[in-house]
């Protein structure tokens, strides 16, 4: 397994729409393993393949509490088939927007269909943090960041801050 480089905004590669995976083979499982290791190292609770420069419909998620064993989920070609009507607000962040957070409303519950690590079809009803994480990562597959849900003013402030940090790193 390997630690992959996480792309940070503003970077056009984060706006690329991901393509479906044709087959869950050893290469795809290797990417999933690397994504999971990268996510844990970051540390984070979710990672999409596009965030590491691979525009494929792949997501890793683990929302287990720190004091419990890891409980990773691998979602290949995920599709949300149902949303709850009830919205929940949460202060969201993203590995591709380091140290930036904003309150965001999302449906409190989703039902998602996907292929698992072994290419088996699965359906999962998720609520709470797992629901939010899945929705957040699925936005990445569509080329969307959590800041794209914010007002233009808030989004601009966050992206300008990240661009300033990037310029400081380059000149250092």
Q: Are the beta carbons of 101 and 145 closer than 8 angstroms?
A: no
* pLDDT tens, position by position, 74-108: 999 999 999 999 999 999 999 999 999 999 999 99
37, 92, 137, 163: which is the annotated catalytic residue? 137
Tell me the residue range of the domain where 78 lies.
Answer: 12-171
Assigned domain for 58 exists = yes
Secondary element (H or E) of residue 160: helix 152-171
Q: Are the beta carbons of 138 and 51 closer than 8 angstroms?
A: no
Cα 85 from Cα 126, distance rounded (Å) = 14
- Give bridge partners of residue 55 from the DSSP assignment: none
Assigned domain for 95 exists = yes
The dihedral built from the CA positions of residue 159, 66, 103 and 60, taken in this order, carries a sign that is: positive
pTM over 0.85: yes
* pLDDT tens, position by position, 25-50: 999 999 999 999 999 999 999 999 99
Assigned domain for 90 exists = yes
CATH (domain of 134)? 3.90.45.10
DSSP label at residue 61: E
Assigned domain for 161 exists = yes
Assigned domain for 78 exists = yes
Number of domains in the chain: 1
Active-site annotation holds for 37: no
């Amino acid at each position: 397994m390997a630690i992959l480089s996480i792309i940070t905004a503003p970077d056009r590669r984060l706006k690329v729409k991901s393509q479906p995976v044709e087959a869950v083979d050893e290469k795809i499982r290797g990417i999933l393993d690397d994504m999971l290791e990268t996510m844990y190292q970051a540390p984070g609770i979710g990672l999409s393949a596009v965030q590491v420069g691979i525009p494929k419909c792949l997501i890793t998620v683990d929302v287990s509490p720190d004091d419990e064993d890891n409980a990773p989920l691998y979602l290949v070609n995920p599709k949300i088939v149902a949303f709850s009507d009830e919205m929940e607000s949460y202060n969201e962040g993203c590995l591709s927007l380091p140290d930036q957070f904003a309150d965001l409303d999302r449906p409190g519950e989703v039902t998602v269909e996907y292929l698992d690590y072994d290419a088996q079809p699965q359906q999962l009803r998720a609520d709470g943090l797992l629901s939010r994480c899945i929705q957040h990562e699925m936005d990445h597959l569509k080329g969307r960041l959590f800041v794209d849900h914010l007002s233009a003013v808030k989004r601009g402030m966050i992206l300008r801050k990240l661009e300033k940090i990037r310029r400081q790193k380059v000149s250092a």
